[in-house]
Amino acid sequence: MKFKIGVLLVLSIIIYSSIWIIVKPARIPEDFSDMKSNISFEIPINEKSVKVGMIGDVLLHNPLYTYPNYDFAFESVKDEFTAIDFMLANQESLPGGVELGLSGYPNFNSPKHIVRDLKANGIDMLSISNNHSLDKGVAGLLTAINNIKEYDMPYVGAYVSEEDRLTNRIVDIEGIRIGVLAYTTILNGYKVPEDRDYLIGLIEDERVEKEISQLRPLVDVVVVSVHWGEEYQLKPSENQKEIARKIADAGADIIFGHHPHVLQPFEKVGNASVFYSLGNFYSAQQFDYTAIGGIARVTIELFQIGNKSFTEVVEPSFLPTNVVKSSSPGFYVSPMRNEESVKGKTQWATDQVGVPSWPNLNNK
């Protein structure tokens, strides 16, 4: 891109000469065009864009935690995952593995191969700060994190040590640096041990503001994953809105919310793009709207002009999905528009979130 700057140089020379008492002005040309000089400067502008997305609750109730493999469950959305440059998922039931005893509600513990199969199908990082993080105690949380590490899956929101918590979660995609933080407002009554306050990212005003402000100068975009709100409510609570304002004011660009198990609207809060609740992505809950989730997506645009860079988050969108209850091979996720039984609710889901959908890539 070029900025062309035309500079008009006008040289006016007035020569005064006097003979006796007579003053004679010098002749000034009527046409100044012959005295014009054009100088062009080229200022390069480098433009980049990447897409960032997140899915809501991956919560393995019975019979989901009994499945030996989950590839079939995500086959119909794999292309959508992989078309997004950076994909987050809320792994709500932590993968402590069979050694701790697999279980569903109320104290969840999932097989570790859910991590393997989410990664194989396009998920790039797990958010693990939520109300079920301590369902199996501190030992269960640490075991789950070790299982996540076994599959070389990045995670955020719960940590094995203070050093782990202080390690910035920054991903670089095509030169755009994305920093990620995760928090929860809820722990189901469990308490984080006082001598291990690093274990779980809790929503505490001072902590959140400090961590965002420390991360902000290191990245182009700050993404915050938040477990908040009231279950089964289709609108965000005042508490959610207040927390969103504080996170936005602290410097976050994107906020992905989860916990209500149903979809809630998108909203701009200051400069932040906020998805209040992404709903259940993969679960076996039976309540109204709890089988409906989706893939939230935004585009990050970065402009570099000389040694200055500017970033903008644009094009928020949402692809509604549905958990299809099948006995064989098992429950699976599908774009709503592909399933005759729920196709009529696709527009409701799109309207509920309040941003456009996009054409799904896989028509299976």
The 10s digit of each residue's pLDDT in 247-271 is: 999 999 999 999 999 999 999 999 9
Q: What pLDDT score does 10 carry?
A: 29
Looking at the domain assignment, is residue 15 inside a domain? no
In the predicted model, what is the mean pLDDT of the chain? 89
Q: Summarize pLDDT for 186-214 with one digit per residue, the tens.
A: 999 999 999 999 999 999 999 999 999 99
d(CA 250, CA 259): 22
Lowest mean pLDDT among 5-9, 167-171, 327-331: 5-9
Q: What pLDDT score does 36 carry?
A: 53
Looking at the domain assignment, is residue 12 inside a domain? no
* Residue among 362, 358, 271 at smallest CA distance from 314: 271
Looking at the domain assignment, is residue 358 inside a domain? no
* Residue among 142, 149, 138, 90 at smallest CA distance from 116: 149
Q: Where does residue 330 fall: left (phi above 0), alpha (psi -120 to 50 degrees), or beta otherwise?
A: left
d(CA 18, CA 16): 7
Q: What pLDDT score does 34 carry?
A: 54
Q: What pLDDT score does 359 carry?
A: 76
Q: Are 317 and 349 in contact (CB under 8 A)?
A: no
Looking at the domain assignment, is residue 6 inside a domain? no
Q: What pLDDT score does 30 carry?
A: 55
Q: What pLDDT score does 361 carry?
A: 57
Contacts of 344 (CB under 8 A, 6+ apart): none
The SS3 assignment for 170 reads strand
Domain count, the chain: 1
| Range(s) of the domain holding residue 63 | 47-353
Q: What pLDDT score does 360 carry?
A: 62
CA-based torsion, 283, 289, 293, 298: positive or negative: negative
Looking at the domain assignment, is residue 362 inside a domain? no
d(CA 114, CA 70): 7
The SS3 assignment for 317 reads strand
Q: In degrees to the nearest 10, what's the CA dihedral of 204, 206, 208, 211? A: -140
Mean pLDDT of 3-21: 31
Contacts of 340 (CB under 8 A, 6+ apart): none
Q: What pLDDT score does 309 carry?
A: 87
Looking at the domain assignment, is residue 26 inside a domain? no
d(CA 261, CA 114): 19
Q: What pLDDT score does 6 carry?
A: 32
Residue 316 belongs to domain with CATH number = 3.60.21.10
* Residue among 278, 333, 296 at smallest CA distance from 71: 333
Given a cut of 60, is residue 31 above it in pLDDT? Answer: no
Alpha-helical runs (H) found in the chain? 71-74, 78-82, 113-120, 137-150, 162-166, 205-215, 238-250, 346-353
Per-residue pLDDT band at 9 (split at 50, 70, 90): very low
Looking at the domain assignment, is residue 111 inside a domain? yes
Burial class (CB in 10 A: 0-12, 13-18, 19+), 339: middle
Convert 238-261 into a string of H (helix), E (strand) and C (coil). HHHHHHHHHHHHHCCCEEEEECCC
Looking at the domain assignment, is residue 10 inside a domain? no
Mean pLDDT of 31-40: 56
Q: Summarize pLDDT for 215-232 with one digit per residue, the tens.
A: 999 999 999 999 999 999
Query: In the chain, what are the helix, strand and coil shares in percent, each to the nearest 5?
Result: 25, 30, 45
The residues that bridge with 309 in the sheet, in sequence order, are 304
Tokens for 92, please give them: 């709500």
Q: Summarize pLDDT for 91-112 with one digit per residue, the tens.
A: 999 999 999 999 999 999 999 9
Mean pLDDT of 138-153: 98
